[in-house]
Amino acid sequence: MKSHYRVVVIGGGVVGASVLYHLAKMGWTDIVMLERRRLASGSSWHAAGGIHALNADPNMAALQAYTIDLLSEIEKESGQHINLHMTGGLTLAGTPERWEWLQANYRIFQSIGIHDCELLSPQEAQKRCPIMSTEGVLGAMWADREGYLDTTGTVQAYATAAKKRGAEYYEQTKVESLEQTAEGWQVVTDKGTIDCEHVVNAAGLWAKQVGRMAGIELPVSPLKHHYLVTDTVPEVAAADFEMPMTVDLEGFTYMRQDQKGVLVGIYEINHEHWAMDGAPWDYGEELFQEQLDRIETELTLGFERYPAIQDVGIKTWVNGAFTFSPDGNPLVGPVPGKRGYWSACAVMAGFLQGGGVGKTLAEWMIEGEPETDAWSMDVARYGKYAENKRYIRETTGQFYSRRFVMSYPNEQLPAGRPLKMAPAHDAMTQAGCRWGVSWDLEVPLYFAPSLDFEENLTLKRSNAFDIVGEECRAIREGVGLLDITGFSRYEVKGPNAEAWLDKLFSTRLPGPGRARLAVMLAPTGRLKGDLTLLNWGDGTWWIMGSYYLRAWHMRWFNDHLEDGVAVRDLGEAVCGFGVVGPKARAVVEKLAEQDISGLRFMGCGRFDIGLVSARVARMSVTGEMGYEINCRMGDHIKLRRMLLEAGAGEGIRECGFNAMLSTRLEKSFGIWSAEFTQDRTPGMTGMDRWIAWDKGDFIGRAAAMAERDGNGPDRVMVTLELEDGDADASGYEPVWAGDGTLAGFVTSGGYGHTLQKSLAMALVDRAQADAGTEVSVHVVGEERKATVIAPSPYDPTGKAMRG
């Protein structure tokens, strides 16, 4: 072992070995992986080893598909057998809602390129898994690329393949401490000290301790997980094919063949955490005693689903620990504020996602950004709030217990909530507000007519549909009041602030007292932000964007920070309200101590709004005249009271984000994580119209110009009008051309209450992008006719918002 490496990977499980392999594959060979015991110790050795390409998150599904394709390549390259059994797999639906959900997801998988799936009747499913009872099964989805593998052999294969490419790994080498240096990190082990540029925390059950070595509190916790392996099952032994991987969603179990018996795993509702501060250092290849009383209900369902196992013995019980994040997705990427420290933790399904995680992190480290949008597993999707132990316990437990529980797009889960609340939260709750969550903050969704109103959970339109429609009418015809605490705000100051912003953004900077949509690009020319830049005219600039991206954007700002520039996140200090609609000016004028009538569209300035000293911007994402009034946290309650009183004569109505999303669709206004993602370009999304091509150098300029001057993107953003039904598109539904070929997919959708039309935005082939083109879209599994329409179907000239 040398005293200096470029990269030190801590942890010799499947994730650490995959990271090592992908770094070596991409040409970095001065790298080493350190394992405190033996390869695959911890969680990897006792994992069930199941693999499947399907995931409710399309980005995670793509990650899993990559891993599956990689496995046979790793086996061949390493010479290490991994005993890959591609049996195919079934996912069972036992309720009408679940069957509806499965049909919808079948179409979504088609839109992201997973074409080896088919929907089956219960009888067809039983033919493929004859030991299964069809009692209560309404349907199933079959996927070809499912099966299982030898877990220890797979870890060895990754490590051996990496070693053949020049990497090193050492077992029985424990990392004892980390210290950040000017050049990177100093890694102290029980076998000596190593200096390196980059450290990767792939420590699995020990991720918490390895994070704390660097002063980091990662939001992870181990939970116990059961599975059993039966003795020989006669029906399995007699079959001339292997039983497929089978997931019984209503039964909370998964099953696969294991030799001549089967393995049955359980996601029990009554979850149990273990070693929340990290596993003991001497823990390695031990298991816990099975806890039959805790899993009795789910175990009974499993034996009922597979009657053939009722009369055979249980050969092995496994009750082992796996590490989970609050939402169950991995925590990957550069840790904010710790240059050179990388996370590759909480990969709950390591053998299914480990290959994709390794590829993503290696690309990130070597090339500056991953090939695909990594947001769903980016460590920066959580902030300081997620370091709280109770938050971690509640959210990880909630995810585990809901692993197979039906979720709905309009469902609000309770764990870790409410956490942060705007000052006027209680008063708004008394006014009927129903809350969602963005990052750590409660954000208003809509205002119910009574405190006892309950929204029904559905994949289709809920009983809150008409409530949102009324809020939209208030915005379009009168005046709406929207809490905008859930917008992010960053203050930029310093003698070099303007020059720095000019380099950071591809857009021309606004003049004093003006605001402008600001497009931020990565060096590759792909999107890094759709933000709003405000020049207050006093040497202070604000950048405004999506609240849940606070840590993500601050990491980007800090990574590119220069001397003479100071950036501050105002998320804990500033909040506010938006006043929107044709009567908005009449309301604000009643309170403004200065003449606000001259504040033109996209203007900004300081105003006294009654007793509140505020920063006001004349803009709104709803497409109507709007004023965004930003104030101190302590002024939030007073500002709301004043605006409601001033607007009483104008019929002011409090509104939520659901109405804002409906009105923005009618304007074809895209949003981040839907239309705009970090694997898309300005040309694909229409953001190129905001780029100031002649202003000089900015990050991503060369790549953006290459797209502009080349043949252009294959797919572009359009607006669709869908044939009306009882459901609306939401995202990733396939868009089919007239000849039945896949033409693209929906990026977001909903109902335009003003136009009374079901609308969607979609990324489609350029051949299908002209207005008037007829296509079709599957919405909750049902094919609906759709037409490409001109953008901004409501007020296309923008007269309303300009006033």
Over residues 430-458, the pLDDT tens digits come to 999 999 999 999 999 999 999 999 999 99
Q: How confident is the model at residue 53 (pLDDT cuts 50, 70, 90)?
A: confident
Residue 63 has pLDDT above 90, yes or no: no
Q: How confident is the model at residue 52 (pLDDT cuts 50, 70, 90)?
A: confident
**First and final CA of the chain: distance in angstroms?**
70
pLDDT score recorded for residue 64 = 87
Beta strands in 95-138 (DSSP E): 117-120
List of residues 6+ apart from 109 with CB closer than 8 A:
54, 61, 115, 117
The encoded tokens of residue 405 equal: 């529980």
Instruction: Specify the amino acid at residue 77.
Output: E
DSSP H helices, 629-756, are 636-647, 657-666, 682-685, 701-709
Q: With left for phi above 0 and alpha for psi between -120 and 50, is residue 798 left, alpha or beta?
A: left
Identify whether the C-beta of residue 771 lies closer than 8 Å to the C-beta of residue 790: yes
pLDDT score recorded for residue 425 = 98
Residue 54 has pLDDT above 80, yes or no: no
Rg over alpha carbons for the chain, rounded to the nearest Å, is: 27
Identify whether the C-beta of residue 272 lies closer than 8 Å to the C-beta of residue 225: no
What CATH architecture is 674-802?
A: Beta Barrel (2.40)
pLDDT score recorded for residue 285 = 82
Q: How confident is the model at residue 753 (pLDDT cuts 50, 70, 90)?
A: very high
Interval 138-166 mean pLDDT = 97
Identify whether the C-beta of residue 302 lies closer than 8 Å to the C-beta of residue 255: yes
Measured CA to CA in angstroms, residue 385 lies from 425, 439, 754 at distances of 19, 9, 38
CA distance linking residue 490 with residue 89, whole number of Å: 48
Which fold does the domain 4-324 belong to in CATH? D-Amino Acid Oxidase; Chain A, domain 2 (3.30.9)
Which residues make up the CATH 2.40.30.110 domain(s) of the chain? Answer: 674-802
CA distance linking residue 708 with residue 703, whole number of Å: 9
Rounded to 5 degrees, φ, ψ at 68 are -60, -45
pTM for this entry: 0.96
Which residues make up the CATH 3.30.9.10 domain(s) of the chain? Answer: 4-324
Measured CA to CA in angstroms, residue 615 lies from 458, 470, 489, 533, 631 at distances of 40, 29, 12, 14, 7
Percent of the chain with pLDDT over 90: 95
Interval 383-399 mean pLDDT = 98
10 Å Cβ neighbour count for 697? Answer: 8
438 in helix, strand or coil? Answer: strand
Average pLDDT, the chain: 96
pLDDT tens per residue, range 478-533: 999 999 999 999 999 999 999 999 999 999 999 999 999 999 999 999 999 999 99
Please choose, from the candidates 323, 326, 334, 327, the residue with its C-alpha nearest in 3D space to the C-alpha of residue 551: 334
pLDDT tens per residue, range 1-24: 999 999 999 999 999 999 999 999
pLDDT score recorded for residue 112 = 84
Identify whether the C-beta of residue 661 lies closer than 8 Å to the C-beta of residue 731: no
Interval 616-626 mean pLDDT = 97
pLDDT tens per residue, range 454-479: 999 999 999 999 999 999 999 999 99
pLDDT score recorded for residue 113 = 83
10 Å Cβ neighbour count for 488? Answer: 23
